[in-house]
Structure 1
């Protein structure tokens, strides 16, 4: 596992205070001048100020947030895990101003680009979180507060020895079950076939979920915009698989 530690914890080995692997490798990197501007000037408005635990993206015990206070209103909440540069969630937030959207991403360049695009489009029903998503769902947000949770093209961790790091597993479904409201929907998509099969198997067997589709796979979610990443996968011959499950 590679993850930066909080400034006050630099002497610690980050592998010693995670009780389970995370689904990402967090690498540093230089940002452009515009991204640096976004991080300096737009972050206070868009990025949630979440108290961290020992690791840079962990959520401290006792940290919690109320969506009504975060957004200044009561509205349905959609959360996207691994929002990248924000293409899907920005499009959705612009199309559905009556819904609150929360993008969860650990790569600052992606968060910065999302903020720049949100500011340009004058989108104000979007907030961002720079934390490990399962901890956000389990610790920070109130139980049953999410109407839809999106997991689009998570890292497939292709090597056999890395499969344990895949986001979607039995423990993740337990966390999602607590985070979604009754009737809430989990939407997933991947271009990696064996991960799609794993997702379907795990969700089919999970307590508290039922399929929102008939047949082998769900129809493509029309709220998911076509990104360059998805287009490249299709060009390489990888079929996109969608899944949708309702919390019962």
Structure 2
């Protein structure tokens, strides 16, 4: 079974506003990811599951020395982020609508990423759906292989059970080392989103995991 055989997301489009349709049509040629291998003149951060894009836009604006590639499968989020990139005149963001696993496998070279951010991925809480989680050994190995030495894989979740699984899976990868003892405090660069704030107000604990890519035997 290949890493692309089981989808980590459920595709849906739903109702889209005219503003989003217009933003996508106008701005994809300018801010969308061009065909071919992914390249960047600056250190590159891959955002897997950028949602509506507010956090990605804010982090990119505060971090002009790096490029951000935001990956999202839902059209409304892609269109909203394109609008934010235009509104804030960001020159360090590109947006890709599609499967991050396919992108990693086919278009991102090994050792080419400075960081990968995976914030609040679908926890797929039902046991029969756990196989769809993005933090599972074979996908973690793929993600880690695309990180440069010293590159950071930063995950966050508000599902305690998934957090424990994440910690176990990431700790077991021979090419990753935990930068903390267990879970990390939320780094200042990770923007507090409305989604996260609602979770905090509802009493849910937020878990951050910050791991670094390290050389492995034979590498």
The two structures share one fold, judged by TM-score above 0.5: yes
Aligned to 1:23: 8
Give the SS at the match of 1:234.
helix
Matches within 5 A, 1:45-60: 45-50=30-35
Q: How many residues align?
A: 213
1:36 equivalent in alignment to 2:21: yes
1:226 to 185, 192, 203: 192
Taking the aligned partners of 1:42 and 1:82, their CA distance within structure 2 comes to: 19
1:212 equivalent in alignment to 2:184: no
Q: After TM superposition, give the deviation of residue 228 of structure 1 in Å.
A: 1.1
Aligned to 2:217: none
In structure 1, stretches of 5+ residues that fail to align are 1-16, 51-63, 69-73
Q: Higher Cα Rg: structure 1 or 2? A: 1
Matches within 5 A, 1:1-248: 20-50=5-35, 64-68=36-40, 74-214=41-181, 216-248=182-214
User: Aligned pair in 2 of structure 1 residues 244, 29: CA closer, same or farther (>3 Å)?
Assistant: same
Q: After TM superposition, give the deviation of residue 174 of structure 1 in Å.
A: 1.1
Taking the aligned partners of 1:85 and 1:111, their CA distance within structure 2 comes to: 7
1:77 and 1:102 in contact (8 A); partners too: yes
Q: After TM superposition, give the deviation of residue 18 of structure 1 in Å.
A: 8.7
Taking the aligned partners of 2:211 and 2:68, their CA distance within structure 1 comes to: 19
Give the SS at the match of 1:119.
helix
Taking the aligned partners of 2:118 and 2:38, their CA distance within structure 1 comes to: 22
Q: After TM superposition, give the deviation of residue 19 of structure 1 in Å.
A: 5.6
